[in-house]
Amino acid sequence: MASLLLNLLEPSVLKVESWISAIAADVPVETDWAQSSFGSWYNKPRQHALELMFLASLYAFATFMYFRRLLRPGTETYKRLTQFRPPCRASLSERGMTLALICSLLLTLTHKIIRNRVWFMLQPCHMSGVLLLFTLVYPNKSSPIPHVFFNIYLHLQWGALAALAFPDLREHSMIGETFNFFAEHVLLLVVPVYMIYSRRYVVLPKSKEVLFLSFFSYSFFHTPLLHLTSLISGFNLNYMWAPPPIKILLRLGPLYRVVMYGVAFVFKFVTRFICVEAILMLMPLKKIPIVKDNSNNKIKSKKI
């Protein structure tokens, strides 16, 4: 059955493979492991074609379906997202963290522009920072939009932890570049914790629906969006051309990216279902402001 299906799809695979060869940048066949910026044909065009055809289709369909399921009217999740009202305005601490994140991302962009590496702003950690910043500055906190993105983000923090644990600093040479690398990734971990503490953002209960939405939207960003950008630009964006020089990944050969998606899913589960849950259990939340009802001289707690 599988062989029959492959035979039926072979003409389409060949067309996509030929198309990839036509649009791809001129990169070498051999991988230069001393640098991390430029790609190589570590994987053949056929492997790229198979991933773009099958993985991209799966990720696009699943992302759409889980978005629809999350925002289905009548569910408890839908009520939480649409009936929420922030209990207070952004504090000075939240504004300071927002400013720090903006400055860090702008400094990163400046370094990328000077080094002619602007495409690397699409790296997942930088885009996670943009996603977090979008949530922070979104003007209408009563809208479900910032809260959906915030709950997607709560599954993504493992990426910042991985970057801090295994920093790839092979090409850092500019003043402040390495410092900002660590500052940005620390902010990606600290800021969402404060956002939870502030009570200004909905934290949905852990669920497989939000887990799968986060995973499939993350994967769809990689394949096809980041994958195609990497092929056209010639830059090895988040290792779309070749893996980092880690023995276990090199042993996987052409399947290293597929395995990395599986590992990402496991880490997303651990991040949200264990780490974030531990924070919710152990960290005291900000006290809700007290509002005095002048009509009957009673004091009421402001509802969230």
Interval 76-119: pLDDT, tens: 999 999 999 999 899 999 999 999 999 999 999 999 999 888 99
Distance of CA 233 to the CA centre of its chain: 21
Q: Is 38 helix (H, G, I), strand (E, B) or coil?
A: strand
Contact 67, 102 (CB under 8 A): no
Residue 140 CB contacts under 8 Å (≥ 6 apart), including other chains = 146
Q: What is the pLDDT of residue 299?
A: 45
- Is residue 296 over pLDDT 60? no
Q: In this predicted structure, what is the pLDDT of residue 44?
A: 93
Average pLDDT, the chain: 89
Asked if pLDDT for residue 173 goes beyond 80, the answer is no
Residue 195 exposure: Cα atoms within 13 Å on the Cβ side: 25
pLDDT at 297 over 60: no
Q: What is the pLDDT of residues 240-283, one digit of tens each?
A: 999 988 888 899 999 999 999 999 999 999 999 999 999 999 99
Q: Is the pLDDT of residue 293 over 70?
A: no
Q: How far is CA 67 from CA 73, 77, 195, in A?
A: 12, 12, 23
Residue pair 16/47 in contact by the 8 Å Cβ criterion: no
For residues 50 and 227, the answer to whether their CB atoms sit within 8 Å is no
Two structure tokens written together for 221 = 């960003």
Phi, psi (degrees; rounded to nearest 5) at 100: -65, -40
pTM of the model: 0.87
Residues 49, 20: contact at Cβ < 8 Å? yes
Classify residue 159 by burial, with Cβ atoms within 10 Å: 0-12, 13-18, 19+.
buried
Residues 6+ apart with CB under 8 A from 133: 98, 101, 102, 105
- What pLDDT band is residue 303 in, cutting at 50, 70 and 90? very low
Model pLDDT, residue 159: 87
Mean pLDDT along residues 209-228: 94
Q: How would residue 11 be classed by pLDDT, with cut points 50, 70 and 90?
A: confident
Give the pLDDT of residue 2: 61
At 45 the pLDDT is 94
The pLDDT of residue 301: 47
> Of 155, 146, 278, 127, which is closest to residue 211 (Cα–Cα)?
155
- What pLDDT, in 10s, does the model give residues 219-232? 999 999 999 999 99
